[in-house]
A and B are shown apart, each in its own frame.
Chain A
């Protein structure tokens, strides 16, 4: 398991790194927009407002400390996702529907 940033620097007096997720409007999910440094979660939200929503890009902000996110390893991408590649029958296009059949 990896963190999202492979080589992690922990210099002593630097504020922790936070990943920022923004919901652009009601009905849509939060989306990762970038990261920033802040002393704590409250400051991370305030900073995220100034850094990532200066033009009304959001109505809700999530922040999470980068070191708390676990990520899959790109080196294992093939073995991790291969099982889905071999199951083409999960897609509707796998099936032949004769001409004349509609609403399907």
Chain B
């Protein structure tokens, strides 16, 4: 019996995608589709895990017990999101431990936003409001991604992210409505995070090498520029409402487009941080590596305990 040739399989695969039939782990898929998903989902998982670090920085210094409990719950959610995603990437045949080791050795990428430091409490607010806000903008379309396990993980993640954004906005709103010092803290934080948040959507469409194929495979459902514009359009009125100024002198409502025009993003800065030269790249990767190394004895003890209890049950 002759194998159906690869072009027929690819045609059949694309027809399924076009008909909005989800792809599941055991289904045939082109190698490149698998590779693209492994790269995207593992980077996404790493971002959730590394994303715990800038906020973890403030758990012990939260201004009151309510804020502390909320921040703890939020950071715990990020761990959960990382775990949903590592599971999803395993369904594609990726080795979980190797995936994590790629992060720890600096080979794998994660969202550049987490390479910026969290200097003040206001940053906890701004991260929730802008960084989680941008993440939601990116992730909502991924709930309709063609790969079933990724789409299902995204549904869970999106449900949880909206709490993250609201708790962040609440912090910023409170500061913005507080003393002049508190308001200045909120404005300073917005000034530092605004542009890196816009960079989270990735390079301009013209420079994004994966966009076209990913759109065809419905791994991606909207382009970087579309999502960035959408984010700006919803966020600017929120800032105005609480009396903060977006740090962009070119920001202007465009009546014709019914959208905001905005200034040029500093892509050199973006590329520099992606390449590993951001303020915290080394600190973040070191923290992950230390976590793995210092936790090794716990994993070994759990294994030893599992073996022992199995033997006890058998006897």
Our verdict on whether A and B bind, yes or no, reads yes
Interface positions of A (Cβ within 8 A of B):
2, 4-7, 9, 11, 13-15, 17, 34-37, 39-40, 42-43, 50-51, 54-55, 71, 73-75
Contact B306 A54 (CB under 8 A): no
Interface size class, chain B: 20 to 34
A51–B86 Cα distance when bound, in Å, is 12
**Does B83 touch A at the CB level, under 8 Å?**
yes
Rounded to whole Å, the gap between the CB of A91 and the closest CB of chain B is 23
Residues 50 to 77 of chain B near chain A (Cβ within 8 Å): 73, 76-77
Contact of A39 with B25 at beta-carbon distance under 8 Å, contacts A17-B90, A55-B160 already known: no
B residues in contact with A75, CB < 8 Å: 28
Q: Which of A11, A13, A34, A39 contacts B305 (CB 8 A)?
A: A39
Q: Nearest CB to that of A54 among chain B residues?
A: B80
Contact residues of B with A, CB < 8 Å?
Answer: 24-28, 73, 76-77, 80, 83-84, 87-88, 90-91, 93-98, 149, 152-153, 159-160, 299-300, 302-303, 305-306, 309-310
Contacts of B306 in A (CB 8 A): 39-40, 43
Extra contacts besides A40-B309, A51-B83 (12): CB < 8 Å: A5-B26, A5-B91, A6-B93, A11-B95, A11-B98, A17-B90, A34-B152, A35-B91, A39-B303, A40-B306, A71-B26, A74-B28
Give the distance to chain B from A65, nearest Cβ to Cβ, in Å.
12
Query: Are A36 and B25 in contact, with the CB atoms below 8 A?
Result: no
Distance from B105 Cβ to chain A, minimum over Cβ atoms (Å):
16
28 A–B pairs (Cβ distance < 8 Å), ordered by A: A2-B26, A4-B25, A4-B26, A5-B90, A5-B91, A6-B93, A9-B94, A11-B97, A11-B98, A13-B97, A14-B97, A34-B84, A34-B87, A34-B88, A34-B149, A34-B152, A35-B90, A36-B83, A36-B87, A37-B96, A39-B299, A39-B302, A39-B303, A40-B310, A54-B80, A55-B160, A71-B26, A74-B28
**Which of B24, B73, B87, B93 touches A74 (beta carbons < 8 Å)?**
B24
Q: Which residues of B contact A9 (CB under 8 A)?
A: 90, 93-96
Chain B nearest CB, measured from A68 CB (Å) = 15
Q: List residues of chain B with CB within 8 A of the CB of A14.
A: 96-97
B302–A15 contact, CB under 8 A?
A: yes
Task: Note all chain A residues with C-beta closer than 8 A to B309.
Answer: 40, 42
Complex interface: chain A residues within 8 A of B84 (CB): 34, 51
The minimal Cβ–Cβ distance linking A49 to chain B, given in whole angstroms, is 11
Q: Which of B26, B83, B152 contacts A73 (CB 8 A)?
A: B26
The distance in angstroms between the C-alpha atoms of A74 and B94, with both chains bound, is 20
Residue of A nearest to B77 (CB): A54
Q: Which residues of chain A are within 8 angstroms of B300 by Cβ–Cβ distance? A: 13
Residues on the B chain within 8 Å of A34, using CB: 84, 87-88, 149, 152-153
Q: A72 to chain B: closest CB distance in Å?
A: 9
In the complex, which residue of chain A has the Cβ closest to the Cβ of B82? A51
Would A6 and B26 count as touching, CB distance under 8 A? Answer: yes
